[in-house]
Amino acid sequence: MTDRTVSPLLEFRNARISFMLRVGEANVIPGLSFSINPGEAMGLVGESGCGKSTVALAIMRYLGRAGRVTSGQIMFEGRDIASMSEDELRRIRGKRLAMVYQDPMSSLNPVKTIGSQLMEVPIIHDDADEAKARAMALRMLDEVKLPDAASVMNRYPHQLSGGQQQRVVIAMALITQPSLLVMDEPTTGLDVTVEAAVLDLVRELRQRHNSAILFISHNLGTVVRVCDRIGVMYAGEMVEQGTIREVFANPGHPYTRGLLDCLPTLGRDKHGSPLSTIPGQVGSPLSRPPGCSFAKRCAFAEEGRCTTVPIAIETLGGGHLAQCVRTRELPPYQRREGLSGVGNDDESVPAMLEITALRKTYRQTHGLFGDTGKTVKALNDVDMFAKPGKTLAIVGESGCGKSTLAKVLSGLVTSTDGAVRLEREEIGTVGVDKRPQSLKRKLQMVFQNPDSTLNPSHSVGYVIGRALRRLKGMSRREAENETARLLDVVKLNGDFAHRKPHQLSGGQKQRIAIARALAGDPEVMIADEPVSALDVSVQAAIINLLNELQTERKTTFLFISHDLAVVRYMADHVAVMYLGKVVEFGRAAEVFEPPFHPYTEALLSAAPVPDPTRQGERIILDGALPSATDLPPGCPFSSRCPRKVGAICDTTPPPEQQLGHGHRIACHIPAVELVALQRGGAPAKVAAKA
Amino acid sequence: MTLQTTIDRLPPTRSAPPGALASALKQVARLGESWPAMIGGGLVLFWVAMAVLAPVLAPHPPNANNMAALAYPFPSAKHWLGTDHLGRDILSRLMWGARTVLLVAPVAVLGAAVIGSFLGLMAGYYRGWVDGVISRVGDIILSFPVIILYMIILAKFGSSALNIIVVIAVTKAPIIARIVRGITLELRERDYVMAAKMRGESSLYIMFFEILPNARGPLIVDFCLRLGYTTIIIGVLGFLGIGLPPPDPDWGGMVKDTYGMMLVWPHMSLIPCAAVSSLVIGFNLLAIGLREISLRD
């Protein structure tokens, strides 16, 4: 990969980047060296706060007023970006250097049409005339596989879905044939199936346009999908770099090993072993230790060698570098394999939570005056159950109704029809205001967003203490003692009681939220994507914590997630939802083995796998989710299904095939046939039938 | 990593010992981080000191006529800022007049903030018809030409400090209600509000303990701005002759009494004008500074 004869396209030469803050100089990047050759794709991974985005911003020289490159150089096409004039910068930005950000909605101007935004780029950079620019824009939209490019040109950003918007942003970045494309978490906000499609597109375009890519992601699986080489960043240093194959097969830095190990790869489950975690968190850039920044979190750290002098970069051959003194002494790397155990599952135990024929419809309103008369069927005949002390996981893409289901259970909205029974007591029609305190105590919730789950004005002690006083009727003093105990349960020091949320990291906030939910000793805990906003290392710790709590307290979990690997790891039962319907339900072990519902199959195949040796052909779902206002009369998935059998799918609702142990699939294809099809491998890509 | 995450990673500031006073002092100390806040706070403090110390510092009784000074009413060694057309010492009158402004303005704005916050919380939290009624009534009050409204009300009920306070509080409350309503609409959807509902908190608790504390930043900034505007209004009311009844010194009244003599004795009206301006600028700079500081967090 690293051809010595080619001069690199981008080269960081011991670049040191700092932000000048009131409190002093925050040296975010202490001295970074790496290079990208023309046409090469390099991935950059690491936890948040490791300096990945700073690298991207430094390349574009968007560091803001406080940030500057204090020494070293950032060479792009042989010239130092840090010393270029504004005029020169303007000429290369957007032309030679392009960037794709995480949130496509904020990269596109909401008041201009897609066409005018795309055409602007060649008009400004290439002096193209309008006709030529239009032709270029149309061709690019075709290349990013947006159907009906001509009509997309006239649309506004809000008229496109998130995946389509990101395609437009990619088209805009590539329209001038840049030599380097910087992508900062380009698929993070997208659903797995959309993410898979965008990643494949990036791979394909890269080969066609011969652009080099710097691909920043916190998800190792997406990096594997797109890149040739990978750089692992920790505390602003590139602790390891090399080819994807080399680094994944033989990680030379303990941090890389930690990142790989804490992933719940498909095939592992909680009955096997707990996930490994990386204790602690990234240190402050205001004060750096003299030795290795990772030493205090590292299982292999040796007092003295690792902690006193700066660590040199070791060469492991083939361009594989690791910044670790012990890299040659590390034991050979063994990837943690599918350790799955068997959960004891007594089918005769009555369900803790039983949902039957649940419906929730919203009336659609429009503007000031009104009711459009249309209804949105957010939940449409949903059946599922959760056994006491077990985890029921609900998976599906955004818009499938999983969050609505959580809201009905928690009483924040009430059901339209059907039954939700908690220990035989109907709760679906009882709004949260009308629930007796005993029911509130029984059922608590952990929310998705760590930044909005805690009130910024309240201290941790107040938050937990208040919940104890309300739910358990404790006095102030009793609550104080109990708060300390709960903090201990979620593995936080008692001092945390005095902290305010802005002094906590994302993982700590989520722990506090769990402690708050535990205050009333709930029997059922709803967790709505509790780990999706967290770094992988923190995610692993929270997952372990939840599982431990379940074993100790026999709490029933309703775990909502879009991440199949996490679901596989956590769940005893799984419900796969699509457009307000459960398309597949059953015990986890059975749902994750053929026969799959074609939608489950697509989800599984789209999930990014952080292993370069296991990158199979994937099923790409085309088209967008149909609108929930006018659902097709037949199978909800028929418009995107790669295994659609014919008109029957559009017209007749699929039968629920019972496959034993409560496993059921709603599909027209008989289960035996599904098994045969799915054991044979993924079907060839099927074009959109939109 | 972005600048924000950099800041997030900074070691947490040593948590203050529990105690409202200590944390309040820390907040006040932060004013030193912003130049506008320093200058604005200085101006305001200057006038507060003048008002508080008026009985001690004022060189003359505010209503004492020194007819001899009328021969030369301009600033002199005896009367630093000169005297007015009745021979009263302008400096002393400004100091005593500051007491009115600095008493009436904060109390009036505080009243507006209390009424406005309550109505804004109700409108934003309950939405629906509650919001409709509160917002429309607020719109009607705001669409009324306020000066005329003041004249009608004060002419009917008479001019007193209390009446001025009530009138200003009622007419300014809708503006604050709007701000609080906007914040409430956003915050009521936060997960911590959901969590409060799920542990069975009352609506009043959620409004006052979960939502209102998070609106305090914008509210404090607005409070300072509104103090400035109210200072102007009090000046205008005095100028129109419906301020505090004479002979007690009132900045607006001082301008009213002497503006006809502007060409001959300009200092008599310009100096009180400057006093009003400096206080208003002080409040505004303080507001700008507070906003700057709050955005830094």
Comparing CB atoms, the residue among B10, B33, B199 nearest residue A470 is: B199
Q: B12 CB near a chain A CB, below 8 Å?
A: yes
CA–CA min distance A120, chain B (Å): 28
The answer to whether residue A675 scores a pLDDT higher than 90 is: no
- Confidence band of B1 (pLDDT split at 50, 70, 90): very low
Residues of B in Cβ contact (< 8 Å) with A458:
213
The answer to whether residue B258 scores a pLDDT higher than 90 is: no
Residue, of A209 and A615, whose pLDDT is higher: A209
Nearest CA in chain A to B214: A457
In the block, residue with structure tokens 């600028």: B281
Query: A-B interface: how many C-beta pairs under 8 angstroms?
Result: 104
Asked if A427 contacts A420 with a C-beta cutoff of 8 angstroms, the reply is yes
Asked if A200 contacts A145 with a C-beta cutoff of 8 angstroms, the reply is no
Put simply, the chain A residues between 507 and 546 with a CB less than 8 A from any chain B CB are 513, 516-517, 519-520
Q: What is the pLDDT of residue A321?
A: 92
Distance between CA atoms of residues A141 and A158, nearest Å: 17
Region B35-41 average pLDDT? 88
DSSP per residue, B4-46: HHHHHHSPPPPPPPS-HHHHHHHHHHGGGG-HHHHHHHHHHHH
The answer to whether residue A689 scores a pLDDT higher than 60 is: no
CA–CA min distance B195, chain A (Å): 7
The answer to whether residue B14 scores a pLDDT higher than 60 is: no
The answer to whether residue A185 scores a pLDDT higher than 80 is: yes
Q: What is the pLDDT of residue A365?
A: 65
Distance between CA atoms of residues A165 and A175, nearest Å: 15
Distance between CA atoms of residues A331 and A252, nearest Å: 10
Q: What is the pLDDT of residue A573?
A: 92
CB-CB under 8 Å, A455 with B210: yes
- Residue B285 is which amino acid? L
Residue, of A446 and A678, whose pLDDT is higher: A446
- Confidence band of A620 (pLDDT split at 50, 70, 90): confident
Comparing CB atoms, the residue among B7, B10, B192 nearest residue A452 is: B192
Residue, of B176 and B81, whose pLDDT is higher: B176
Q: Dihedral sign, CA of A308, A309, A311, A312?
A: negative
Share above pLDDT 90 across residues of chain A, in percent, rounded to a whole number: 30
Asked if A612 contacts A248 with a C-beta cutoff of 8 angstroms, the reply is yes
Q: A471 CB near a chain B CB, below 8 Å?
A: yes
- At A119, list the tokens: 């055409």
Backbone phi, then psi, for B295, in 5-degree steps? -70, -25
Asked if B232 contacts B276 with a C-beta cutoff of 8 angstroms, the reply is yes
Q: What is the pLDDT of residue B172?
A: 92
Residue, of A89 and A372, whose pLDDT is higher: A89
Nearest CA in chain B to A286: B10
In the block, residue with structure tokens 């309950």: B126
Q: What is the pLDDT of residue A660?
A: 80
Residue, of B9 and A308, whose pLDDT is higher: A308
The answer to whether residue A658 scores a pLDDT higher than 80 is: yes
Residues of A in Cβ contact (< 8 Å) with B210:
455
Dihedral through CA B151, CA B152, CA B153, CA B156, nearest 10? 110
CB-CB under 8 Å, B33 with A286: no
Domain ranges of chain B: 88-296
What's the predicted TM-score (pTM) here? 0.83
- At A327, list the tokens: 């890299």
Supply the ipTM of this predicted assembly: 0.82
Residues of B in Cβ contact (< 8 Å) with A453:
191-192, 195
The answer to whether residue B205 scores a pLDDT higher than 90 is: yes
Task: Identify the DSSP state of A94.
Answer: T
Residues of B in Cβ contact (< 8 Å) with A410:
194, 198
CA–CA min distance B209, chain A (Å): 9
Q: What is the pLDDT of residue A338?
A: 57
pLDDT digits 0-9 by tens, A408-421: 999 888 999 889 99
Asked if B98 contacts B50 with a C-beta cutoff of 8 angstroms, the reply is yes
CA–CA min distance A368, chain B (Å): 12
* Closest listed residue to residue A451, CA positions, set A492, A496, A410, A510: A510
Region A571-581 average pLDDT? 91
The answer to whether residue A254 scores a pLDDT higher than 70 is: yes
Q: What is the pLDDT of residue B6?
A: 43
Q: A413 CB near a chain B CB, below 8 Å?
A: no
The answer to whether residue B182 scores a pLDDT higher than 90 is: yes
DSSP reduced 3-state for A100: strand
- Confidence band of A345 (pLDDT split at 50, 70, 90): low
Core vs surface per residue A283-310: b (16+ CB within 10 A) or e: bbbbeeeebbbbbebbebbeeeebeeee
* Closest listed residue to residue A269, CA positions, set A581, A632, A679, A591: A591
Comparing CB atoms, the residue among B3, B190, B210 nearest residue A67 is: B3
Put simply, the chain A residues between 27 and 56 with a CB less than 8 A from any chain B CB are 28, 48-54
* Closest listed residue to residue A321, CA positions, set A258, A246, A227, A222: A246
CB-CB under 8 Å, B198 with A440: yes
Region A374-379 average pLDDT? 82
Q: What is the pLDDT of residue A25?
A: 83
Distance between CA atoms of residues A137 and A158, nearest Å: 19
Q: A328 CB near a chain B CB, below 8 Å?
A: no
Backbone phi, then psi, for A573, in 5-degree steps? -120, 150
- At A569, list the tokens: 């790891």
CB-CB under 8 Å, A520 with B191: no
In the block, residue with structure tokens 């001025």: B164
CA–CA min distance A420, chain B (Å): 17
Distance between CA atoms of residues A88 and A107, nearest Å: 23
Strands (E), A202-301: 212-216, 229-234, 237-243
Strands (E), A84-170: 97-100
Is the preceding peptide bond at B62 cis, omega within 30 degrees of 0?
Answer: no
Asked if A314 contacts A252 with a C-beta cutoff of 8 angstroms, the reply is yes
The Cα-based distances of B88 to A406, B58, B176, B263 in angstroms read: 74, 12, 40, 19
Region A452-462 average pLDDT? 92
Distance between CA atoms of residues A629 and A403, nearest Å: 17
Strand order in the sheet with A443-446: A443-446, A524-528, A556-561, A391-395, A573-578, A581-587, A664-666, A656-658
Core vs surface per residue A136-165: b (16+ CB within 10 A) or e: bbbebbebbbbeebeebbebebeebbbbbb
Q: What is the pLDDT of residue B124?
A: 94
- At A113, list the tokens: 């049409």
The answer to whether residue A474 scores a pLDDT higher than 80 is: yes
* Closest listed residue to residue A231, CA positions, set A222, A219, A221, A244: A244
Nearest CA in chain A to B33: A22
CB-CB under 8 Å, B9 with A502: no
CA–CA min distance A130, chain B (Å): 37
Residues of A in Cβ contact (< 8 Å) with B6:
19, 21, 26, 28, 49, 285
Q: A675 CB near a chain B CB, below 8 Å?
A: no
CA–CA min distance A404, chain B (Å): 14
Asked if A253 contacts A240 with a C-beta cutoff of 8 angstroms, the reply is yes
CATH architecture of B88-296: Orthogonal Bundle (1.10)
- Confidence band of A690 (pLDDT split at 50, 70, 90): very low
Nearest CA in chain A to B195: A445
CB-CB under 8 Å, B191 with A411: no
The answer to whether residue B80 scores a pLDDT higher than 80 is: no
Backbone phi, then psi, for A375, in 5-degree steps? -120, 145
- At A145, list the tokens: 């596989």
